[in-house]
Amino acid sequence: MFKNKYMYCFIAAGLLAPSGAAMAQDKYPTKPIRLIVAFPAGGSTDIIARLAGQKLGEKLGQQVVVDNRGGAGGTIGTDIAAHANPDGYTLTMGTTSTHVIAVGAYKSLKYDPVKDFEPLTLVASTPYLLVVNPGVKANSLKEFIALAKSQPGKMNYASAGTGTTTQLAMEMLKMAAGIDVVHVPFNGNGPAGVATIGGQVQALFGSMPAVLPQAKAGRLRPLAVGTPKRSPALPDVPSVSESYPGFDASLWLGFFAPKGTPAAITKRLTAELTAIAKSPEMKEQFERNGADPLWSNSPAELSKLVATEIEKYNKVIKAAGITPQ
């Protein structure tokens, strides 16, 4: 009789006590979180990731450590994130380049942007800004197009890497304007901007947060923004669509966790990141860097966006004749 009594107590206690996994989730986080940025420091993804990551760390009570893993158009770092332990302590800042364009730009992508990640939320979008080295004899988009047409195949442009949105933005402009400028890939927005400032290349269709400070300082000359409307950050700079209707080149940035990350953790991260993007302070910081905060989205909507844009950009890649690497 006593044996059965103690057995029942033991079973009841086991049913009432939370599992080790549940307890770990309840206490999350108990250590720093690694935020993988698949591009070098100084680029748009790095800038937005650091701004949002710092605020996320403050909300969670643990440091969010940015881990820059650049290379191969962002696919190296994104692959590391895809195969990290799904315990909530590794996140990545995904972009149009890493989660959309890479599918059509690389033959042997080692991760699946849809199947290998838990989408959390978008946090920002940013237009692309066409800039040139101040030594280039073009003070407007019209003059740049005319100059390129006068010497086909002799001018060149930088990108953040083969298959990145910085390449596709310029390739779309090449198709729209009928110009021939040569692609020179670099390992990220930062190095591409440095090369353009130094005159190694003449032009760059760079992401706004990466090139805006250099444009405002006069080290690069802004000619046009890629979004349909002008950017509040540079209201006097026209949009490409004013000359070529329908042109649209922009970059979205969002947070992802490895597939299998516990739902309780992803739910909390999504809520915290959404609150961060909605905050007036973050809105001001994003806009100062030429980015627009985004928060009216859900993980399901982000997942749908990835799938839809993969189809869209695959068509652009084929039309531009870009050979998968």
- What are the DSSP calls for 7-50, one per residue? HHHHHHHHHHSPPHHHHHHHH--SS-EEEEESS-TTSHHHHHHH
Once rounded to an integer, what is the mean pLDDT over residues 7-16?
A: 46
Nearest to 239 by CA among 252, 225, 220, 253: 225
Provide the b/e sequence for 87-119 (b: ≥16 CB within 10 Å): bbbbbbbbbbbbbbbbbbbbeebebebeebbbb
pLDDT tens digits for range 257-299: 999 999 999 999 999 999 999 999 998 998 888 888 887 778 9
Parallel, antiparallel or unpaired: strands 156-159 and 203-207: parallel
Contact between 222 and 231 (Cβ < 8 Å)? no
Angle CA 31–99–220, to nearest 5: 95
Residue type, 315: K
- Look at residue 10 and tell me whether its pLDDT is greater than 50: no
Q: What pLDDT score was predicted for residue 312?
A: 85
pTM of the model: 0.80
Cis-peptide into 29, omega within 30 deg: yes
290 vs 286: CA distance, rounded Å: 6
Contact between 90 and 33 (Cβ < 8 Å)? yes
pLDDT tens digits for range 45-102: 999 999 999 999 999 999 999 999 988 889 999 999 999 999 999 999 999 999 999 9
Nearest to 313 by CA among 223, 248, 231: 248
Q: For residue 325, what pLDDT band results from cuts at 50, 70 and 90?
A: confident
Q: Name the DSSP letter for residue 156.
A: E
Once rounded to an integer, what is the mean pLDDT over residues 118-147?
A: 96
Once rounded to an integer, what is the mean pLDDT over residues 9-22?
A: 46
First vs last C-alpha separation in the chain: 73
215 vs 211: CA distance, rounded Å: 6
Q: Where are the beta strands (DSSP E) in the chain?
A: 33-37, 64-68, 90-95, 117-132, 156-159, 182-185, 203-207, 221-225, 250-258, 292-293
Mean pLDDT of the chain: 89
- Look at residue 11 and tell me whether its pLDDT is greater than 80: no
Number of H helices, E strands in the chain: 13, 10
Q: How far is CA 95 from CA 39, 181, 289, in A?
A: 10, 25, 17
Q: For residue 162, what pLDDT band results from cuts at 50, 70 and 90?
A: confident
Q: What pLDDT score was predicted for residue 321?
A: 84
